[in-house]
Amino acid sequence: MFPNNTKFANALGPICESKGIEQHWKSNLVKIDKDNRVATFKNLDSGDMTDVNFDFLHFAPPQSAPEFVRTSELAAANGWLDVNTQTLQHNKFSNIFGVGDVCNLPTAKTAAGLF
């Protein structure tokens, strides 16, 4: 669940498995039929569509840095804010500091990256 943090991933994987929680990696959620409790996912490798029945649905939508960061000198090659991973100070502009998911850090981008 947290591909960039093996400590969490190694702990949560077996918990999901023991509780019958399905994980759909490399898939985009494309449709939710809330009345029938069916989520439709598109596999990013094959393009196949899969309908999944659910009782509880938790997902993180695809994340990206804001366009003004992605298309500026502020961005690293991958589009995220280019910061020092230890200090969060920008690597080129010393008067800029980053916080949260916009930073080019080895963390999962889940719109909850302020902690």
pLDDT band at 115 (very low <50, low <70, confident <90, very high): very low
15 in Cβ contact with 8 (< 8 Å): no
Cβ neighbours around 79 below 10 Å, total: 17
Q: What is the mean pLDDT of the chain?
A: 88
Q: Rounded mean pLDDT of 56-78? A: 90
- Distance separating alpha carbons of residues 89 and 99, to the nearest angstrom: 9
Q: What is the structure's pLDDT at 18?
A: 94
pTM of the predicted protein model: 0.65
Q: Rounded mean pLDDT of 37-47? A: 95
15 or 61, which is more confident: 15
